[in-house]
A and B are shown apart, each in its own frame.
Chain A
Amino acid sequence: EADIYQTPRYLVIGTGKKITLECSQTMGHDKMYWYQQDPGMELHLIHYSYGVNSTEKGDLSSESTVSRIRTEHFPLTLESARPSHTSQYLCASSEFTGRTQGEQFFGPGTRLTVL
């Protein structure tokens, strides 16, 4: 069964705090992604990874950073959260099949509110 987990589901924090959003998948997928989505808007790719020790910035500029030390784990870190970071963060994974990419499996998302 395809499973991808995100924690926490909801987070309310004050400005200036450091936070890490967790994402894990049990499918052995090489490719993983982080998207940012505001209500009623499209998903914007902020980071992606082709495998262990591979990370790339996405199409939307972001002040966050990511790491990929293990295949199943792709955490996203904000060193100093600001109100402009308030959004829904979605993690996804897919098999790496070259340009003919298969479906992406999404986690439930983390809704972040920075006061």
Chain B
Amino acid sequence: SQKIEQNSEALNIQEGKTATLTCNYTNYSPAYLQWYRQDPGRGPVFLLLIRENEKEKRKERLKVTFDTTLKQSLFHITASQPADSATYLCALENDYKLSFGAGTTVTVRA
């Protein structure tokens, strides 16, 4: 069956450090993968899209990698700040729609 797995445990890090989040998938062949940020009680907000033929994408302090052989995407937040505290969702293209993981909650301590 199809499955999307993100870090099951919340991530607590010190301000200024790099947070690394994992998204693993099974029985999908996505043409692209997206990452979203979700704050409590709000809808997700788009952050980055990476296509199957791209290995890495960057946007400001964010970096995403996509390894279709390992069936894995890594999401990095460098020089983390307390304002980065949120839940981060990965979403895979699946038959012209998106399938979402359950997300990883990140807390950045000042």
Residue positions of A touching B, CB distance < 8 A:
33, 35, 40-43, 45, 48, 58-59, 90, 92, 98-109, 111
Contacts and interface: CB of A to CB of B under 8 A. Distances in A.
B46 A104 contact: yes
Contact of A43 (B31, B34, B44, B51): B44
Contacts of A33: 97
A91 to B, nearest CB: 8
Contact of A42 (B32, B46, B96, B103): B103
Interface of B: 4, 31-32, 34, 41-46, 49, 51, 89, 93, 96-103
Contacts, number: 56
Given A45-B97, A101-B98, A107 B43 contact: yes
B101 A42 contact: yes
A100 B102 contact: no
Given A90-B43, A106-B43, A107-B43, A100 B32 contact: yes
Nearest to A39: B40
15 contacts: A35-B100, A40-B103, A43-B44, A43-B100, A45-B98, A59-B97, A90-B43, A92-B43, A98-B96, A99-B31, A103-B46, A106-B45, A108-B41, A109-B43, A111-B41
A40 B102 contact: yes
Contacts of B99: 45, 59
